[in-house]
């Protein structure tokens, strides 16, 4: 039997994998993509536009399934979509909450869509904060790739002229709601920026996809492809090239190598047939998400790579960072009490944001290094979550719920943890998943710096509510458990020195020139911005490199 060999095997179809698949197929390379889960059927699996009373448990979910519905996104709206079979463990002392979507498209099916560019303030992490490392590139080098991906996916925002948050190429922004105008006035008084977020949600048609219809159900999928996700946008274009072989329910197990340690393919579990298979390629792109990518590479042990493939630096799985999330403040705006309802939740939390304003003039002006951003939300949400917290019963209670409905506000912090030697993932020496593959074991604690940001945000956000004429009512007792944000970075960090970094500045592993990484694992540190847009911009750059390497004969075409 002739062994089929592809030019490139891509593991994963989310932000990184999906972008790589499209870029490589459009460049004419033969691509085999492995995706650990199934393909979603938008008609069946995207259950939005339905009302809560049209579902069994009113969207609260079956209480009996509470234990297995792990995490906040894994609920009745998207039952059967999130992954439950592939576990992970947390080392003693670590709490890790980690909902994962292995469906085709990964988390882009249901992501938050906030899409800010990283800037030099992020890349010069070490120089400015004394922590972590500087990134091996400048903003000027990556900016064209941001423009390319923004043009592809469509990002709505405004030009804001803040070097810490470089402006991109934007569609018209979402309109501010009443609560945005009120809070913006309050923030202005404190010198805190309150601006339209960058949101990968269309206010104009892009690539033939209609603009948003503002139903507000984005977090459970879009039936018109009006916010960016790879199944709607990248994968159909890749498939149209006829260069793509997409294998679903194909759980990557390890990367296959030859005697020199070069990548020759991928071993994967065909989950439908419950058997192991192999696929061969001239280059391999790992894009399974930060921790899964590192897990696959750590599980790729051979005589040449006894500690996992491309791990001669010993940094694979290390430098793990995450975004601390949590409700920094909540309250209500009396101005809006009893006013007519208004569709406030059309873009969820991504209509406005308070982009990093700390440590900009002087990197040491605060009691912490680096900085964080904040997302405001509130108003007329689909469910009046404050109602349970509102005391009482009877007509007076009912009236209070109604009066308060448009007025609630809350602030959610997004703050980067620091890359510390104590925060990392490795393979659990005991626990294997149902296919016999060792699972990821998490070692992670919030560091003091990020906890200082949390404390800082609680004060500032309370002040913003008060300065806006609002009533501050409280905050979360503690930040969310690590893992919650799904913004992990660092496990395959990029840098010039092969002894200290897993990948080079192009996301190519130092040890194995035909092995590339296209996800947030290559980011050496976390920032105040979300990861998805940058994953895609860096992936386009990596793919340019891959295509060049095929053109120049570094990798040979099949």
Which residues 404-423 are close enough to bind another protein by CB under 8 A?
A: 405, 410
Choosing from 2, 3, 63, 365, the residue that interacts with another protein (CB under 8 A) is: 63
Residue pointed to by tokens 């990948």: 503
If the CB atoms of residues 236 and 343 are measured against another protein, the closer one turns out to be: 343
Residue 463's CB: how many other CB atoms inside 10 A?
Answer: 17
We find the least distance from the C-beta atom of residue 425 to another protein, in angstroms, to be 24
Strand partners, 156: 171, 199
List 432's β-bridge partners, or say none.
438
User: Is residue 557 near another protein by the rule CB under 8 A?
Assistant: no
Smallest distance from the beta carbon of 181 to another protein, in angstroms? 4
Distance CA 9, CA 12 (A): 10
Between CA 33 and CA 314 the distance in angstroms is: 28
> Considering the complex, what minimum distance in angstroms separates the CB of residue 206 from another protein?
15
Applying CB under 8 A, the span of 15-23, 75-83, 142-150, 499-507 interacting with another protein comes to 75-83
Single out the segment in contact with another protein by CB under 8 A; choices: 160-168, 253-261, 390-398, 417-425.
Answer: 390-398
223 vs 239 by CB, closer to another protein: 223
With respect to another protein, which residue has the nearer C-beta, 79 or 207? 79
User: Nearer to another protein by C-beta: 97 or 143?
Assistant: 97
Min separation Cβ 333 and another protein, Å: 8
Show Cβ contacts of residue 254 under 8 Å, excluding neighbours closer than 6 positions: 266, 267, 296, 299, 300, 301, 309
Shortest Å distance, C-beta 336 to another protein:
7
User: Among residues 240 and 478, whose Cβ is nearest to another protein?
Assistant: 478
* Per-residue x/- track, 161-200, another protein (CB under 8 A): -------------xxxxx-xxx-xx---------------
Task: Give the nearer residue to another protein in terms of CB position, either 187 or 238.
Answer: 187
Q: Are 104 and 18 in contact (CB under 8 A)?
A: no
Distance of closest approach, residue 490 Cβ to another protein, in angstroms:
26
Distance, in Å, from the CA atom of 555 to the CA atom of 5, rounded to the nearest integer, reads: 13
Measuring CA to CA, which residue among 168, 130, 126 is closest to residue 151? 168
- Tally of residues, the chain: 558
Strand partners for 411: 329, 376
List alpha helices for 95-177, DSSP H: 120-123, 125-129, 139-153
- Per-residue tokens: 62: 């079956």
Q: Examine residue 229 and tell whether it contacts another protein (CB under 8 A).
A: no
Q: How far apart are CA 500 and CA 384, in angstroms?
A: 50
* 35 touches 13 (CB < 8 A): yes
For helices 532-551 and 139-153, give the axis angle rounded to 10 degrees: 100
CB-wise, 408 or 419, nearer to another protein? 408
What residues between 83 and 142 interact with another protein by CB under 8 A?
none
d(CA 91, CA 93): 6
- Which of 546, 541, 519, 545 lies closest to 15, judged by CA? 519
Cα gap 342→123, rounded to integer Å: 40
How many residues interact with another protein (rule CB under 8 A)? Answer: 93
Is 316 or 486 the residue whose CB approaches another protein more closely? Answer: 486
Phi, then psi, of 126 in degrees rounded to 5: -65, -45
Of 63-71, 83-91, 278-286, 436-444, the window that binds another protein (rule: CB under 8 A) is 63-71
Cα separation, 266 vs 251, whole angstroms: 10
- Tell which positions 5-44 bind another protein, by CB under 8 A: 44
Instruction: Kindly state the smallest distance separating residue 389's Cβ from another protein, in Å.
Output: 7
- Interface stretch with another protein, choices 3-11, 70-78, 135-143, 445-453 (CB under 8 A): 70-78
Q: Are 125 and 135 in contact (CB under 8 A)?
A: yes
Among residues 261, 384, 498, 513, the one that binds another protein under rule CB under 8 A: 384
55 binds another protein (CB under 8 A): yes
**Out of 393, 429, 436, 552, the residue judged to bind another protein by CB under 8 A:** 393
Contacts with another protein in 295-354 (CB under 8 A)?
333, 335-349
- Applying the rule CB under 8 A, the residues between 201 and 220 that interact with another protein are 203, 212-220
Please list every residue from 447 through 486 that binds another protein, using CB under 8 A: 468-469, 476-477, 480
């Amino acid at each position: 039997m002739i062994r089929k060999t592809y030019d490139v095997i891509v593991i994963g179809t989310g932000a990184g994998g999906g972008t790589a698949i499209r870029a490589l197929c459009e460049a004419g390379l033969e691509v085999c993509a492995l995706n650990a889960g199934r393909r979603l059927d938008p008609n069946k699996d995207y259950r939005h536009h339905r009302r809560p009373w049209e579902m069994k448990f009113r969207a609260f979910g079956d209480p009996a399934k509470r234990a297995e519905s792990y995490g906040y996104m894994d609920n009745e709206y998207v039952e059967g979509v999130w992954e439950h079979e592939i576990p992970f463990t947390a080392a003693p002392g670590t709490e890790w909450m980690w909902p994962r979507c292995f469906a085709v498209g990964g988390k882009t099916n249901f992501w938050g869509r906030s899409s800010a560019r990283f800037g030099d303030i992020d890349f010069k992490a070490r120089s400015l904060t004394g922590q972590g490392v500087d990134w091996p590139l400048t903003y000027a080098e990556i900016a064209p790739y941001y423009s390319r991906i923004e043009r592809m996916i469509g990002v709505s925002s405004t030009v804001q002229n803040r070097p810490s948050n470089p402006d991109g190429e934007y569609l018209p922004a979402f309109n501010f709601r009443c609560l945005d105008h009120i809070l913006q006035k309050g923030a202005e008084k404190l010198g805190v920026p309150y601006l339209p977020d960058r949101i990968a949600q269309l206010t104009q048609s892009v690539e033939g996809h209609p603009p948003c219809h503002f139903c507000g159900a984005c977090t459970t999928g879009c039936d018109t492809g009006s916010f960016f996700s790879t199944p709607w946008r990248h994968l159909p274009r890749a498939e149209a090239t006829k260069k793509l072989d997409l294998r679903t329910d194909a759980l990557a197990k390890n990367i296959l190598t030859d005697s020199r340690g070069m990548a020759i393919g991928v071993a994967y579990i065909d989950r439908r047939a419950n058997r192991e298979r192999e696929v061969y390629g001239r280059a391999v792109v790992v894009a399974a998400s930060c921790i899964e990518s590192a897990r696959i590479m750590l599980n790729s042990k051979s005589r040449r790579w006894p500690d996992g493939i491309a791990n001669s630096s010993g940094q694979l799985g290390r430098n793990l960072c995450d975004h601390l999330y949590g409700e920094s403040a909540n309250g209500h705006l009396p101005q809006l009490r009893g006013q007519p309802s208004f569709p406030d939740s059309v873009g969820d939390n991504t209509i406005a944001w308070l982009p990093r304003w700390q440590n900009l003039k002087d990197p040491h002006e605060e009691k912490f290094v680096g900085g964080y951003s904040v997302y405001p939300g509130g108003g007329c949400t689909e469910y009046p979550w404050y109602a349970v917290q509102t005391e009482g019963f009877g007509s007076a209670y009912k009236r209070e719920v109604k009066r308060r409905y448009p007025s609630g506000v809350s602030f959610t912090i997004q703050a980067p943890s620091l890359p510390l030697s104590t925060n990392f993932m490795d393979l659990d020496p005991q626990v294997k998943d149902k296919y016999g593959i060792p699972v990821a074991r998490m070692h992670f604690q919030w560091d003091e710096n990020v906890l200082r940001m949390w404390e800082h945000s609680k004060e500032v956000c309370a002040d913003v509510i008060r300065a806006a004429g609002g009533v501050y009512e409280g905050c979360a007792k503690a930040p969310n458990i690590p893992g919650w944000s799904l913004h992990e970075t660092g496990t395959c960090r990029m840098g010039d020195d092969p002894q200290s970094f897993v990948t080079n500045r192009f996301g190519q592993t130092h040890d194995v020139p035909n092995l590339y990484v296209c996800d947030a694992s290559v980011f050496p540190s976390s920032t105040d911005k979300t990861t998805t847009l940058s994953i895609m911009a860096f992936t386009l750059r990596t793919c340019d490199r891959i295509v060049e390497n095929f053109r120049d004969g570094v990798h040979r075409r099949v």
